[in-house]
């Protein structure tokens, strides 16, 4: 089963934003409770050795900063051999902390993978870095490729995804054109839209279908929607835009519900989300929550790492090759904290609708 990576960003912002609101409005006991529900592990590469007596750098809680979100199906804490992650999302928070630039890096992106000793290694799919060396090696790989520093990696486990989605009453999305997922077979009693299809044995089946127009997604149908790849014009790139569309819709739904007026629902939502996260041992969750408490869906700009071509590589398989020139521009703008200039030249993804 493919990893359910599609709610990574929303889960993190649920914890940081609503957890920050809880702390900001004086609900300190609840805020502590949420932080206690978050698991901790060593997710960052070893820090460079310091000379004796050198001061220890304090944990970073102000912008600019970079978060790296990693999808996982189990609370394995990012250990080597935990399996490949189907999501790598880089979030840049500018110095003002008034925006968030959300950069999806497709799982099959063909990058130099950091070696076990932290050097630049041979190319492979980016999610191989996680399989071979856990979260620290993936962080090193992204740092080397972009010439950046990931401040805080976050691993998200997806047990309870449907519950989290259904807690907010599902979301509505706008779909441009009808699509059928010929690989998603529904039982005869399924309540979801379907179309006739055939399984690999040639038997008549019903496959999940998404009609054009406004569609309400509960937890199960949302999972079908964001996991579809075949049958979309641009395959994985369209799927990436779908999950960004859904993330924005979920963030908007959470913001519209004014959870502070319903402490029970706030508690249930944030504890569910917090229980699905593993963060670095030094990550100051409450202080980061306060820093990012003003962020809302309208403040998120969604991008995808520029891809030049799809290619088959012997021993690796089908990969997505980055556009080197545009990627350099992207990361230079990120390092200079000027992604606003980059998106003026390269418009971001329009996530108000999807394929």
Domains of the chain (ranges plus CATH)?
A: 8-46+58-168+253-345 (3.40.630.190)
Q: Return the closest-CA partner of residue 316 out of 170, 125, 181, 131.
A: 125
Q: How far is CA 304 from the centre of its chain?
A: 12
Other Cβ atoms less than 10 A from the Cβ of 246: the count is 24
- Phi and psi, residue 178, nearest 5°: -60, 140
Q: What pLDDT is attached to residue 54?
A: 61
Residue stretches of the chain with pLDDT short of 50: 1-9, 15, 17-24, 75, 81, 159
Which pLDDT does position 258 carry in this prediction? 67
Neighbour-count burial for 187-221, b at 16+ CB within 10 Å, e otherwise: eeeeebbbbebeeeeeeebbbbbbeeeebebebbb
Rounded Cα–Cα distance for residues 233 and 169 (Å): 30
* Alpha-helix runs per DSSP H in 90-148: 127-146
Count other Cβ atoms within 10 Å, centred on residue 33.
16
Tokens coding 79: 């250990």
* Alpha carbon separation from 313 to 111, 209, 302 (Å, rounded): 12, 33, 29
Distance CA 40, CA 280 (A): 5
Rounded to two decimals, the pTM is: 0.84
**Contact by Cβ (8 Å): 206, 190:** yes
Q: What is the pLDDT of residue 247?
A: 78
Cβ-based neighbours of 329, under 8 Å, separated by 6 or more: 342, 345, 346
The residue written with tokens 């629902």 in the block is 265
Cα–Cα distance measured from residue 328 to residue 305, given in angstroms and rounded to the nearest whole number: 10
Q: Report pLDDT for 343.
A: 97
């Amino acid at each position: 089963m493919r990893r359910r990576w599609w709610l990574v960003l929303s889960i993190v912002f649920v914890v940081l934003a609503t957890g920050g609101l809880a702390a900001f409005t004086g609900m300190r006991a609840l805020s502590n409770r949420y932080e206690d529900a978050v698991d901790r592990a060593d997710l960052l590469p070893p820090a460079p050795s310091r000379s004796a007596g050198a001061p220890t750098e304090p944990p970073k809680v102000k912008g600019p900063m970079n978060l790296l979100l990693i999808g996982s199906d189990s609370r394995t804490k990012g250990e080597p051999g935990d399996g490949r992650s189907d999501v790598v999302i880089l979030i840049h928070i500018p110095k003002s902390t008034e925006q968030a630039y959300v950069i999806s890096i497709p799982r099959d992106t063909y990058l130099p993978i950091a070696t076990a000793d932290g050097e630049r290694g041979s190319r492979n799919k980016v999610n191989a870095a996680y399989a071979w060396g856990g979260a620290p090696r993936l962080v090193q790989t992204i740092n080397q490729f972009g010439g950046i520093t990931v401040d805080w990696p976050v691993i998200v486990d997806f047990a309870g995804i449907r519950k989290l989605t259904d807690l907010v009453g599902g979301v509505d999305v706008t779909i441009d054109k009808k699509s059928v997922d010929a690989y998603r077979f529904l039982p005869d009693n399924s309540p979801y839209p379907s179309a006739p299809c055939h399984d690999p044995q040639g038997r008549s089946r019903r496959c999940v279908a998404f009609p054009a127009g406004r569609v309400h997604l509960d937890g199960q149908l949302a999972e079908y929607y964001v996991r579809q790849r075949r049958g979309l014009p641009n395959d994985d790139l369209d799927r990436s835009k779908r999950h960004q569309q859904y993330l924005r819709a979920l963030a908007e739904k959470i913001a519209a519900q004014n959870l502070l007026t319903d402490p029970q629902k706030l508690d249930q939502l944030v504890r569910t989300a917090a229980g699905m996260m593993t963060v670095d041992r030094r990550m100051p969750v409450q202080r980061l929550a306060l820093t990012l408490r003003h962020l809302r869906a309208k403040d998120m700009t969604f991008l995808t790492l520029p891809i030049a071509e799809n290619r088959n590589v012997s021993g690796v398989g089908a990969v997505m090759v980055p556009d080197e020139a545009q990627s350099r521009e992207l990361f230079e703008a990120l390092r200079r904290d000027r992604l606003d200039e980059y998106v003026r030249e390269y418009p971001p993804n329009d996530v108000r609708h999807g394929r």
